[in-house]
Structures are given as structure tokens and as C-alpha cells.
């Protein structure tokens, strides 16, 4: 018999349209169905509204509606299983998905076919939408004008609220794979490596964890504390720095999305560092070509980071992380005072046995992940 813990609940952060993970997942499917959206593109967060609208208005939307319209009010198209509505994978009837497709098209400002509009008017109150979502759809259908994007004003998902959920990590892994366009012919080892590397790095971007330089306060961007001393490392991962405890706590909702990730705790925000280094290279007078591919630079840096954090890595540090620092108190290694390394994983440095014992509860998960056999 399955445990209740094995049933993953669909996250909701509101009662309106696009305010739950099921709606977002369905929109991702619709985005991929168009055939012209690349990688992790999502019509809820489009990179180019005008370009998408033009392609949809010139045939892409008509192709998507083939087989969907006309839609009658049969049980198959309108009935929802209440027990399965809020557990993964999302279970939504054809009528619900059609209304969601229409809502996305309105949000992009596409031409809404009369038969699609009529079906939405008939279906939106009987296919499982919440009362708030029904009101939103009704108002949109009343005032929508072709060519003018309609804003449903959906609440954004709070960043970091589900950072400990395994499915969330799985989703970021999927995005990491799509970043290099893996397919069935890709070596499984390469796929795993991409998930471990690009997943955490893309989480950094989503969390806003690279808004400020790596040696500055992650919240306010200051380079020094009030007393003039350097910013202190995050008390949990040691990778992000803060000018005060107040700033550390204020930045926690964003930073916690990546703080506990083993790869991040070992390598830090390699993504942000790679982008900055690439930009400096492009701006340098010594750069003769001037057309260096940023993505290739980032990829090389991330592959280097993967090597550093693999169990068989020999070199523990390079210019990605700077000098080793104590995992507990943050003291940086100098020529005068060297640090000892954890004997089990060889990934974390300490200035004393006391600091190593004090940091064990935080280091345990990482240590077990990279422990040498």
C-alpha cells in the first residue's frame, strides 16, 4: 500500500488562473506543441511576445485547434476527477485545457477565433476552474480585443517555497538537459552531468542569486561591512557573502533555493562568474575577434566545475572559488595559516577540529555525497 507521503501534491500559491503548478505544466506542454518555442520557453513568460503572436496568428494556433474544435459538452470533455485534480501528474479534462489554451492566447494578444471564444464561454464554468478563475475568464472574454495582450494579473510563484521538494529539483534538471538540447542519442552520463551542473546554475538565475558581484553583499551589493571589514560568508553554504546578519536574513527567501544544493555548496554560483568573465573578455582591447560565444565560455566553466566537484577530483580549488576558507567561521587560508581538509570528502576546509565538529550538521549531506570510497 502506498504511503501518503509518496503522493505528490500540486502546489498552489493562489486561487486564480495560472496560480498553481498544474496550469504552468499544461502551458509548458502547449508551448512545446507549437513547435517553434525552443528550450525551456514558456508562453506564460515569453521572451518575444510579438514574434510568438505573429507565428500563432499565421497558422500555428489553427494547427493546435485541429482536433480540439468543435468541442461538445460531453462528460469526457467536462468531467474532472476531484481526487486526482491536485496530485501529480496533472489530470485535467479536454475542456479545461482548451480554456487554458484560449487564456494563454489572450495573454499573448493573438486573434481569438469565434469558435474558440464560443467554446470558452460555454465551458469555463463547468470544467473544474476555481470561482476566481471563472470570474477572470468571464471578464477577459467580455473585454478582450484581438492584438492587445490581456493581463490576467496572476500572482507570481514565491521563490524558494518548495526548494526541498524532489520534483522541483527534477524540473530544474529537465531544464538543465534542454539547455544543451539532449535527446535519445545523448550519452546518459552526459545527461546526468548536465542535470547536476545546469540545474543548480539555472536555479541561481531564477533566485536572483547573481544580482550582485560574488564578493559583495548578496542583498544590498555593498563590498564592506559597516566597520570596513570584508563581507562574511553565508552561515549555511559559505558561498554567498553578506555585510550584516540583517541582509543575510532578508536575502534568505531567494538564496535558500540554491543554498542547500550540494553542487552549489562546493562550487558556488559558477554561472554568474562565467558570465562576468566572458563579458570582461569581450570588453578587453586584447580580444581580437570580439565575437566570443558566451554560451561556450559558460559551458567550459561549468564542465570545469563539475570536474572539481566529482568524487575523483584531484584539484580542490581554482580561480572559481578563490582561496579555501573554513566552512564554519569563514577564515580564508593564507601562506601563514593553512587549513585542513575533510578527510572523508576532500571538499570542505576547516581551520580547526572545533570548527569541523560545529559545522558537521551542515556539512554531513555534502560529505556523504562526495565521500571517497
Q: How confident is the model at residue 289 (pLDDT cuts 50, 70, 90)?
A: very low
245-256 pLDDT per residue, tens: 888 888 877 777
Can the peptide bond before residue 255 be classed as cis, meaning omega within 30 degrees of 0?
no
User: pLDDT exceeding 70 applies to what percent of the chain?
Assistant: 61
Averaged pLDDT for residues 210-217:
75
301-313 pLDDT per residue, tens: 444 444 444 433 3
Q: How wide is the angle at C-alpha 253 spanned by C-alphas 248 and 255, nearest 5°?
A: 65
Q: Which of 103, 186, 204 is nearest to 150 (CA)?
A: 103
Alpha-carbon gap, residue 36 to 267, rounded angstroms: 35
Q: Which positions ≥6 away from 248 have C-beta within 8 Å?
A: 218, 219, 234, 235, 242
122-170 pLDDT per residue, tens: 998 898 898 889 999 999 999 999 999 998 888 776 544 443 333 355 5
Alpha-carbon gap, residue 120 to 126, rounded angstroms: 10
Give the position of cell 527534477: 170
Counts of helices then strands in the chain (DSSP H, E): 15, 4
Averaged pLDDT for residues 341-354:
83
230-286 pLDDT per residue, tens: 888 877 777 778 898 888 888 877 777 677 666 566 555 555 555 455 555 555 554
Q: What are phi and psi of 371, to 5 degrees?
A: -60, 135
Give the position of cell 562576468: 276
Q: What are phi and psi of 87, to 5 degrees?
A: -125, 150
- The pLDDT value given to residue 243: 92
Mean pLDDT of the chain: 73
Sign of CA dihedral 209, 214, 218, 221: negative
Can the peptide bond before residue 89 be classed as cis, meaning omega within 30 degrees of 0?
yes
Selected residue with higher pLDDT from 71 and 370: 71
- The pLDDT value given to residue 177: 57
Question: How many residues would you count in the chain?
Answer: 373
Per the rule left: phi > 0, alpha: psi between -120 and 50, beta: everything else, 59 is left
**Three-state SS annotation for 146-204:** CCCCCCCCCCCCCCCCCCCCHHHHHHHHHHHHHHCCCCCCCCHHHHHHHHHHHHHHHHH
The three three-digit cell numbers of residue 29, written as one number: 506542454
Task: Say whether 103 sits in a helix, a strand or coil.
Answer: helix
What's the whole-model pTM score? 0.45
SS3 content of the chain, % helix, strand, coil (to 5): 50, 5, 45
Q: What is the full DSSP assignment across 337-368?
A: S--EE-TTTS--EESSHHHHHHHHHHHHHHHH
Domains of the chain by residue range: 4-143, 166-321, 323-373
Alpha-carbon gap, residue 72 to 240, rounded angstroms: 55
Alpha-carbon gap, residue 40 to 23, rounded angstroms: 16
Q: How confident is the model at residue 114 (pLDDT cuts 50, 70, 90)?
A: very high
Per the rule left: phi > 0, alpha: psi between -120 and 50, beta: everything else, 133 is alpha
Helix (H) or strand (E) holding 309: helix 294-309
160 within 8 A of 257, measured Cβ to Cβ: yes
Count of CB atoms situated within 10 Å of the CB of 323 = 10
Selected residue with higher pLDDT from 183 and 35: 35
The three three-digit cell numbers of residue 360, written as one number: 558537521
217 within 8 A of 187, measured Cβ to Cβ: no
194 within 8 A of 213, measured Cβ to Cβ: no
Task: Say whether 130 sits in a helix, a strand or coil.
Answer: coil
Task: Say whether 350 sits in a helix, a strand or coil.
Answer: strand
Q: How confident is the model at residue 210 (pLDDT cuts 50, 70, 90)?
A: low
61-109 pLDDT per residue, tens: 999 999 888 887 787 778 877 777 888 777 888 899 999 999 999 999 9
Q: Which of 170, 202, 169 is nearest to 269 (CA)?
A: 202
Q: How confident is the model at residue 315 (pLDDT cuts 50, 70, 90)?
A: very low
Amino acid at each position: 500500500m502506498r504511503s501518503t507521503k509518496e503522493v505528490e501534491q500540486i502546489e498552489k500559491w493562489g486561487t486564480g488562473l495560472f496560480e498553481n503548478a498544474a496550469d504552468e505544466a499544461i502551458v509548458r506542454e502547449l508551448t512545446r506543441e507549437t513547435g517553434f518555442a525552443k528550450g525551456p520557453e514558456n508562453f506564460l513568460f515569453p521572451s518575444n511576445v510579438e514574434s510568438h503572436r505573429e507565428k500563432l496568428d499565421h497558422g500555428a494556433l489553427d494547427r493546435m485547434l485541429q482536433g480540439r474544435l468543435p468541442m461538445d459538452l460531453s462528460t469526457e470533455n467536462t468531467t474532472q476527477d476531484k481526487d486526482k485534480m491536485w496530485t501529480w501528474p496533472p489530470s485535467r479534462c479536454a475542456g479545461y485545457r482548451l480554456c487554458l489554451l484560449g487564456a494563454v492566447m489572450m495573454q499573448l494578444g493573438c486573434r481569438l477565433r469565434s469558435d474558440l471564444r464560443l467554446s470558452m464561454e460555454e465551458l469555463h464554468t463547468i470544467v473544474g476552474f476555481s470561482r476566481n478563475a471563472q470570474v477572470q475568464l468571464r471578464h477577459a472574454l467580455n473585454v478582450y480585443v484581438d492584438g492587445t495582450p490581456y493581463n490576467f494579473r496572476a500572482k507570481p510563484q514565491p521563490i524558494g517555497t518548495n526548494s526541498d521538494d524532489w520534483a522541483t529539483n527534477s524540473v530544474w534538471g529537465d531544464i538543465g538537459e534542454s539547455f544543451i538540447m539532449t535527446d535519445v542519442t545523448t550519452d546518459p552520463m552526459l545527461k546526468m552531468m548536465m542535470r547536476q551542473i545546469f540545474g543548480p546554475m539555472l536555479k541561481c538565475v531564477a533566485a536572483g542569486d547573481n544580482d550582485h558581484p560574488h564578493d559583495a553583499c548578496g542583498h544590498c551589493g555593498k563590498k564592506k561591512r559597516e566597520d570596513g571589514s570584508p563581507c562574511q560568508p553565508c552561515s549555511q553554504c559559505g558561498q554567498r557573502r553578506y555585510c550584516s546578519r540583517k541582509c543575510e536574513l532578508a536575502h534568505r527567501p531567494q538564496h535558500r533555493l540554491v543554498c542547500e544544493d550540494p553542487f552549489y555548496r562546493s562550487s558556488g554560483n559558477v554561472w554568474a562568474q562565467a558570465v562576468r568573465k566572458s563579458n570582461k573578455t569581450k570588453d578587453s582591447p586584447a580580444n581580437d575577434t570580439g565575437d566570443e560565444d558566451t554560451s561556450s565560455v559558460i559551458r567550459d566553466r561549468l564542465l570545469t566545475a563539475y570536474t572539481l566537484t566529482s568524487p575523483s577530483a584531484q584539484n580542490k580549488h581554482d580561480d572559481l572559488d578563490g582561496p579555501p576558507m573554513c566552512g564554519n567561521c569563514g577564515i580564508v587560508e593564507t601562506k601563514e595559516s593553512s587549513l585542513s581538509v575533510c578527510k572523508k570528502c576532500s571538499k570542505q576546509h576547516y581551520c580547526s577540529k572545533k570548527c569541523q565538529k560545529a559545522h558537521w550538521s551542515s556539512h554531513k549531506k555534502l560529505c556523504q555525497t562526495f565521500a571517497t570510497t
